[in-house]
Structure 1
Amino acid sequence: MNLFPHQDNLLNTTYEFSRVAYYIDMGLGKTFIGSEKMWELNTPYNLVVCQKSKIDDWKEHFEEFYPEYNVIIFDKQSLEIIPQESVLIINYDKVWRRPELEHLRDFTMMLDESSLIKNEKSNRSKFILNNLKPDNVILLSGTPVSGKYEEIISQINLLGWKMSKDLFMKQYVKREWDELDGGWKIIGYKNIDRLKRKLRQYGAVFMKTEEVFDLPTQNHINVPVKSTKQYNEFSTHHMCEYDGEMFIGDTPSKAKLYQRQFAGYMNNNKLMRLKELIESTNDRLIIFYNFKKECEVIKKLCDELERPLSTVNGDIKDLEAYENKSNSITLIQYQAGAMGLNLQKSNKIIYFTLTDKSELFEQSKKRTHRIGQEQPCFYYYLLTQGSVEWRMLDVLKMRKDYTDELFEQEEMKS
């Protein structure tokens, strides 16, 4: 397999390590680097843990470039019948439900988007960290911490750097006591250069796209959308009726959720602006959304405009129209498709609504801005005027999550 020079360099840098982390920007070919490292380690068995939406991609990758492997999407097979030279592929939500994997030995484990084990208390993380016994570990992520360095603790333990959470917080996190809540509050970070040097000693490497390629420019365009009486009523009173249903924001989480929905699919003005954007071009378009109701109204609009449609969400991954129709529209739900997809045939992304997760936001932009993209990339943000969406975008640009706590602070200011 012919690799890019930067991929060869990373493999050479980590040649002596049996536990490695490739923290490299989206679009630099983590799939090829990780699979080539797995081939070099040459264990009888291999386990790839990935998102559900990436299972078929990994299967096709190994079958095309490593035909010597037996590629198995692992569900409930008995380990006794699995031959050597196998790659078992399973998604994060199933791995902890397959206790038979605890008996797997002589294997290399690769975690695609390893940031998904950042919560060490989740079932997936506890199973991977405590129950699996890999000889070698390969971690792949373009956003290993999303600006929150404390989220890397579970990953560094997999690399063999055994450090308690308390010690990590003392050495690398700035905290102050919150008298109101009676607990420690993170206010920043320290000794980050030392942290990265230490990580390199344990097989972690870092690389940004701009260090390797001159990718096309990125253009960010805010598209203001007229607000509605319903949005303003809900923002004022935290209750409003829509389409015969009463929405009551009696908790901060509900209030934030409903404000986002009143600014999104409940706003007909936003649908009209989306229609105008779609009608303005025959190019391939990518549209990111959050909620099932949003998908339904956007699909209906695309049907009316007679545009070929592809969909990626928790239930389906259908990219046929995207691959074959130059005027297609691809609807992607953040959780299912913001990570891992190669969509550089398109150079235009429309954000119908914003995610509140910084990692998903950053990853979504890289679906088009990656190796193979030859055109400038455009990102259109549909933002309801006077709504929470503007503040969400500001926070996401700072690479922070828009949390319930931030929402409460904004509510108090208004």
Structure 2
Amino acid sequence: MKLFPHQDIVLNDTYEYNRVAYYLDMGLGKTYVGSEKMWELNTPYNLVICQKSKIDDWVQHFNTFYDYTVVIYDKQPIEKIPEDSVLIINYERVWRRPELLKLRNFTMMLDESSKIKNEKSKQSKFILNLVAHNVILLSGTPTGGKYEELWSQLHLLGWKISKKLYLKQFVEQEWDELNQQYKIVGYKNVDRLKKKLRQYGAVFMKTEEVFDLPKDNHNIVKITGTKEYNEFSRHSIVEISGEELVGDTSTAKKLYLRQLAGVYNQNKLAYVKDLIDSTNDRIIIFYNFKKEYAALVEMIDKPISTVNGDLKDLTAYEEHENSVTLIQYQAGAMGLNLQKANKLVYFTLTDKSELFEQSKKRIHRIGQERPVFYWYLLTSGSIEWRIKDVLEMRKDYTDELFEEEEM
């Protein structure tokens, strides 16, 4: 396996470390860097924890480039783990395998290590209690725009600072009188945080530092709103398409506002239809809800590929230049290589900054030779504009962490 020069540099810079974090921007080949570091560490046992959708990709990678015994540790416990093996398991399953707590002399690699940002979740607690001799963390967006969510990863790297002290040193908090709790309003001592991260084996690298990728073009499209959206916004109740939507809680109201600005807005569906019909190039469309998927499939008369919680089929994308690929954020914002396409449409926006940042890199990555185009379809006067503002704001927080420390 031949590595790119930037991948060799990263490995050389961390050669002396047995706990590392490769926070490489999407498209820079974290998979190759992580697996090579694992091979260098050379422990009898290796454990890779990843998203369920990435298990097959990791199996193929190790079978192609290495001679490990690869075991999908997903369904049945194993009585005896063979040496020179790689166990691959997903985040949702790992905490149900208590026998792993007895494993010793192994290297643990977390693919998309931001998945343990909530240290109180069952899977995070379990992973933090594993007795790994070596640790490799991989992520393009380690904080999801929030530095407070980095603590559990720092703990695995060996920085045993308490969560309370970490927040005190690096996070600005104010007392929220209404909710009787502290809320995070900003960050401080960022240069010191970067220095500590490097001290504990973290490497940050952005794509533009390594490759001159084609220009990215962003188009915000104002979609005409609807009377139903305005009525629901005022009264928290509306009847549409024979269905009564009731926003009796803040969560329900937010959900229905997003759907009224999306799938229930015929103006937006019509715009997407026109956009699809205007080109014979591949188009990628990101969406959130099953109703959106059903509405999009019904109106598209071109070959369709799908990536969601129920189905992953990229056949049309691979075989047809005029295909439309529909991707649900949770299932496909991370890890897919879709640089055959250079056009991406956000039918609706996610409210998770990490998924938003990852989604953009599906087409703007190594191997892309054409300028890329993004369309953000935002219903006028809707919640979508605020979501976009928050996503962009969190991106700024993430970018600051990637910046080189000023001399």
SS at match of 1:80: coil
Structure-2 separation of matches of 1:248 and 1:217:
43
Judge conservation of contact 1:215–1:371 (CA < 8 Å) in 2: yes
1:359 aligns with 2:345: no
Q: Give CA-to-partner distance per residue, 1:125-168, whole Å, 9 cap, x none.
A: 011012x2111110001111122111000000001110111100
User: Residue 321 of structure 2 corresponds to which residue in structure 1?
Assistant: 326
User: Residue 177 of structure 2 corresponds to which residue in structure 1?
Assistant: 179
1:282 Cα shift? 0.9
User: Residue 54 of structure 2 corresponds to which residue in structure 1?
Assistant: 54
Q: How do 1:247-396 and structure 2 match up within 5 A?
A: 247-302=245-300, 305=301, 307-396=302-391
Q: Give CA-to-partner distance per residue, 1:185-227, whole Å, 9 cap, x none.
A: 2221111111111111111111111111111111111122221
1:400 Cα shift? 6.3
Structure-2 separation of matches of 1:293 and 1:178:
37
Q: Which amino acid aligns with 1:348?
A: K
Structure-1 separation of matches of 2:78 and 2:99:
7
Structure-2 separation of matches of 1:327 and 1:88:
39
Q: Which amino acid aligns with 2:62?
A: F
Q: How do 1:7-406 and structure 2 match up within 5 A?
A: 7-66=7-66, 68-130=67-129, 132-302=130-300, 305=301, 307-399=302-394
Judge conservation of contact 1:79–1:100 (CA < 8 Å) in 2: no
Structure-1 separation of matches of 2:96 and 2:306:
28
User: Residue 408 of structure 1 corresponds to which residue in structure 2?
Assistant: none
- Moved runs in structure 1, 4+ residues, more than 6 A? none
Structure-2 separation of matches of 1:298 and 1:78:
41
User: CA RMSD for the aligned pairs?
Assistant: 1.3
The percentage of counterpart residues that share the same residue type is 71
1:55 Cα shift? 1.1
Q: Which amino acid aligns with 2:90?
A: N
Judge conservation of contact 2:74–2:90 (CA < 8 Å) in 1: no
Q: Which segments of 5 or more consecutive residues in structure 1 lack a partner in the other structure?
A: 402-414
Judge conservation of contact 2:146–2:394 (CA < 8 Å) in 1: no
Judge conservation of contact 2:77–2:97 (CA < 8 Å) in 1: no
Structure-1 separation of matches of 2:75 and 2:231:
52
Judge conservation of contact 1:76–1:98 (CA < 8 Å) in 2: no
Structure-2 separation of matches of 1:400 and 1:185:
19
Structure-2 separation of matches of 1:48 and 1:19:
14
1:387 Cα shift? 1.1
Judge conservation of contact 2:143–2:150 (CA < 8 Å) in 1: yes
Structure-1 separation of matches of 2:340 and 2:39:
30
Q: What is the number of equivalent residue pairs in this alignment?
A: 396
SS at match of 1:373: coil
Q: Which amino acid aligns with 1:35?
A: S
